[in-house]
Amino acid sequence: MPYLFTSESVSEGHPDKVSDQISDALLDNFLAFDAQSKVACETLVTTGQVVLAGEVKSDTYLDVQTIARDVINKIGYTKGEYQFSGDSCGVISLIHEQSQDINQGVDRGSKEEQGAGDQGMMFGYATKETENYMPLALDISHKILQVLADLRRDGTEIPYLRPDAKAQVTIEYSDDNVPQRIDTIVVSTQHDNFDEDEKMLSKIKSDIISILMPRVIAQFPERVQRLFTNKITYHVNPTGKFVIGGPHGDTGLTGRKIIVDTYGGKGAHGGGAFSGKDPSKVDRSAAYAARHAAKNLVAAGVANEILVQVSYAIGVVEPTSIFVDTYGTANVGLSDGQIAKKVAALFDMRPFAIEERLKLRNPIYLETAAYGHMGKRPELVTKVFESPYNGRIEKEVELFTWEKLDRVEDVKAAFGL
């Protein structure tokens, strides 16, 4: 019997995502001026206030207030009527030094013997459902909000948009797990108070369906475009007007959107958030490494869908386990346990090996903090960092290295494909 599956995403102006972006901007600046920085930075945002907290061990010093304000302004919180603005909000820093009890289990005489920064399990997932090996409902949800943000910044066709927004997509699947059609799309977007409520809500719904959605649909290949029929149920700002939003409407915290950040409810999640954490924290680095492994395994043809789990003990170098679930879609005549053994041999999951392989000691994290950490395109960019204490530096870095299909041939050779 056909079934429905739903995923959601939130915009860069959602208060939790504002917090994530501030935390990752701080991390990038620490890593830019001291690549060995150890950072675990949390951010809280609310009406007119930003609170920074966490633990840092670094040889550099930052103007954290300016960094936070720059992120907020870049997102689009620049007007007094939003009750939250980068130029006027208060910024309180409660950041202090990392615990030596934790650090002694991570730093070792040999970098190769670096222990895991914490215990826990991390998951990577990939599916042939989309070109970027991501679940389709989440991919569409991200695209809706990215295009909405483009329209907001352009300001000509939909001039009333404000930064806070959410999207949700429900897809009907067949018994054999193939997408059949888009069933429901929900879009809630913050907006100016520009007319009487009924007229305003009618205008917003019309613009979302007639201006936004055609641009979203055009970004997908034809086989996905066919799923967008005229029978889609649209809920646009279903609670009514959405003028009060952002950190004024809802307090934001770092790490509260972990399903949006990963696979939209597909696969699994170990529970650890990403943003604000340097790569010695395996919550982040091992989740990226597991995604890298899963994506290359699916691209190589080992399975049509795969989940990779890796787990750690704090201060211990080797993973405590590596698990694989192919959901019955394996193409190699091996059990999932046998596949897991080959994965362990192919992908070195020691913390330092992950850092080196994926080039994670670089300032590459702000770009991950909105619209998902997975499924983005790897690219080389030049980033500029300026500090009143450290001067100005330019660094060429590679973004989203865990999305590279650079191990496909190795996987094919190992599995005889």
Structure confidence by residue, pLDDT tens digits, 365-389: 999 999 999 999 999 999 999 988 8
Residue ranges of the binding site for L-methionine: 55, 98, 250, 281
Taking every pair of Cα atoms in the chain, the longest distance, rounded to a whole number of angstroms, is 67
- 8 contacts 168 by C-beta, under 8 angstroms: yes
**Which residues neighbour 263 within 8 Å (Cβ) at sequence distance 6 or greater?**
125, 134, 135, 138, 269, 374
**What integer pLDDT is reported at residue 114 of this predicted model?**
78
CATH of the domain spanning 3-9+136-245 = 3.30.300.10
Q: What does the buried/exposed string (b/e) look like for 324-336 if buried means 16 or more CB atoms within 10 Å of the residue's CB? A: bbbeeebebebeb
Residue ranges of the binding site: 14, 16, 42, 55, 98, 164-166, 241-242, 250, 256-257, 273, 277, 281
Tokens describing residue 72:
């907020």
Residue-wise pLDDT tens digits, 246-301: 899 899 999 999 999 999 999 999 999 999 999 999 999 999 999 999 999 999 99
CA distances from 169 to 145, 205, 332 (A): 12, 16, 33
- 375 contacts 132 by C-beta, under 8 angstroms: yes
Residue ranges of the binding site for K(+): 42
Residues of the chain with CATH 3.30.300.10: 3-9+136-245, 120-128+282-415
> Which is it for strands 49-57 and 90-97: parallel, antiparallel or unpaired?
parallel
For residue 347, the one-letter residue type is F
State yes or no: pLDDT of 100 exceeds 70: no
> Does the domain made of 120-128+282-415 have the CATH classification 2.40.50.140?
no
Residue ranges of the binding site for Mg(2+): 16
Average pLDDT over residues 408-415: 97
**Which residues neighbour 343 within 8 Å (Cβ) at sequence distance 6 or greater?**
293, 297, 308, 322, 324
Report the alpha-carbon distance of residue 241 to residue 254 in Å, rounded: 27
Residue ranges of the binding site for ATP: 14, 164-166, 241-242, 250, 256-257, 273, 277
Report the alpha-carbon distance of residue 103 to residue 329 in Å, rounded: 42
**What integer pLDDT is reported at residue 388 of this predicted model?**
87
**What integer pLDDT is reported at residue 179 of this predicted model?**
96
pTM of the predicted model as reported, rounded to 2 decimal places:
0.95
Phi–psi pair at 281, nearest 5 degrees: -85, 110
State yes or no: pLDDT of 357 exceeds 60: yes
State yes or no: pLDDT of 363 exceeds 70: yes
**Which residues neighbour 49 within 8 Å (Cβ) at sequence distance 6 or greater?**
89, 90, 91, 92
81: confidence class by pLDDT, cuts 50, 70, 90:
confident
112: confidence class by pLDDT, cuts 50, 70, 90:
low
Mean pLDDT of the chain: 94
- 387 contacts 63 by C-beta, under 8 angstroms: yes
State yes or no: pLDDT of 72 exceeds 90: yes
- CA 268 to chain centroid, in Å, comes to 15
Query: Please, how many CA atoms are within 13 Å of residue 402, restricted to the half-sphere of its CB?
Result: 28
Q: Name the helix (H) or strand (E) containing 258.
A: helix 258-261
Residue-wise pLDDT tens digits, 30-67: 999 999 999 999 999 999 999 999 999 999 999 999 99
State yes or no: pLDDT of 25 exceeds 80: yes
Residue-wise pLDDT tens digits, 147-160: 999 999 999 999 99
